[in-house]
Amino acid sequence: MEKGTFKIKVGLAEMLKGGVIMDVTNAKQASIAEKAGAVAVMALEKIPADIRRDGGISRMSNPKMICEIRDKVSIPVMAKCRIGHFAEAQILEALEIDFIDESEVLTPADNSYHVDKNKFKVPFVCGARNLSEALRRIDEGAAMIRTKGEAGSGNIVEAVKHMRAITSEINSLSLMSNEDLMKFSSDNNAPIDLLQETKKIGRLPVPNFSAGGIATPADASLMMQLGAESLFVGSGIFKSEDPEMRANAIVEATTYYDDPKKLSEISSGLKDAMEGLDISEIPEKDLLQNRGW
């Protein structure tokens, strides 16, 4: 019998496809998310919009709070560790969390190394802005990639940029010779074997989800049509005026993403979405997406 193999890790990511993973900060929100049809919840102490507002150092959530959420719901529970903070990751694995997000939303703990995710039995998801960054994370053992977007902004523009970048780079591989691939690999610091595999299969070697800025059912549809296989919604739900209805609407929009008539019904009757930020209003040093490399 085998446990914790790469195939088993990717297996859970496959099961989460076509669904919505919601950020929750307590057991009550977790229950709302589950009832609204979330495929998983991300347990964290503060949603990204509040992390951005409050500043300071943002760390792994308190294990007690993570366990309260885990005990409340039957769907998979995810939790975040800081970039490079393998001790936080070890604690999350000991808690038997279903998926660990090595996340730029928290303050990075290491300026040179990401966590060696191959050493863990629990699967990891990591953010990426482009193909090379995605492949570096997969090389380290990530079983799922998500666009970074700009967490807590309520603005979809960065998630769109990152998803389009990954897709167009994958498409451009199909025309490359082996020499081109080697040059691309050294220019962009992308693992050559994973580049070759990506070229062969025409997509990332692991599921490719989207995160960072999704706030409406239309945002969900947009990201799914651009090639996201599932969605993470952070601040978009519990920063809105109608979390329950909005959560449910985004779940339905993810299933019926290519049916504009259904989407119009789903979007009707929602109250105001979260307030968003124009990305140009965020000082460069405060952009969460630039954490990690």
Distance in angstroms (rounded) separating the CA atoms of residues 61 and 250: 26
Residues 244-263 that bind another protein (CB under 8 A): 251-252, 254-256
Binding of another protein by 81 (CB under 8 A): no
Q: How many residues bind another protein (CB under 8 A)?
A: 38
Give whole-number Cα distances, 274 to 40, 226, 241, 252, in Å: 21, 23, 7, 19
How far apart CA 118 and CA 175 sit, in angstroms, is: 31
Assess 269 for contact with another protein (CB under 8 A).
no
The region of 36-44, 47-55, 215-223, 273-281 touching another protein under the rule CB under 8 A is: 36-44
Question: Which two tokens mark 19?
Answer: 């669904």
* Residue 61 neighbours by CB under 8 Å, 6+ apart: 43, 44, 45, 79, 80
DSSP 8-state assignment for residue 141: T
Determine if 202 is a binding residue for another protein (CB under 8 A).
Answer: no
- Does residue 287 belong to the site contacting another protein (CB under 8 A)? no
* CB-facing half-sphere around the CA of 278: CA atoms within 13 A: 2
Side-chain-facing half-sphere of 135: CA atoms under 13 Å? 23
80 annotated active-site: yes
The residue range among 96-104, 180-188, 192-200, 267-275 that interacts with another protein, by the rule CB under 8 A, is: 96-104
> For another protein, which residue of 32, 61, 99, 190 counts as binding (CB under 8 A)?
99
Q: Among residues 9, 80, 117, 161, which one is catalytic?
A: 80
Residue 125 contacts another protein per CB under 8 A: no
Q: Which of 21/138 has CB closer to another protein?
A: 21
Q: Which residues contact 183 (CB under 8 A, 6 or more apart)?
A: none
We find the least distance from the C-beta atom of residue 144 to another protein, in angstroms, to be 12
CB-nearer residue toward another protein: 37 or 191: 37
Which one of 45, 50, 67, 75 is in contact with another protein (CB under 8 A)? 75
Q: Rounded to 5 degrees, what angle do the CA atoms 158, 252, 71 make?
A: 90
Residue 287 burial by Cβ neighbours in a 10 Å radius (0-12, 13-18, 19+): middle
Of 261 and 285, the one with the shorter C-beta distance to another protein is 261
Whole-angstrom Cα distance, residue 144 to residue 123?
Answer: 8
Which residue, 151 or 266, has its beta carbon nearer to another protein? 266
18 binds another protein (CB under 8 A): yes
Q: Residue 60 or 253: which CB sits closer to another protein?
A: 253
Binding site for another protein (CB under 8 A): 1-5, 7-8, 11-12, 14-19, 34-40, 74-76, 93, 96-99, 121-123, 251-252, 254-256
Q: Which residues are part of the catalytic machinery?
A: 80
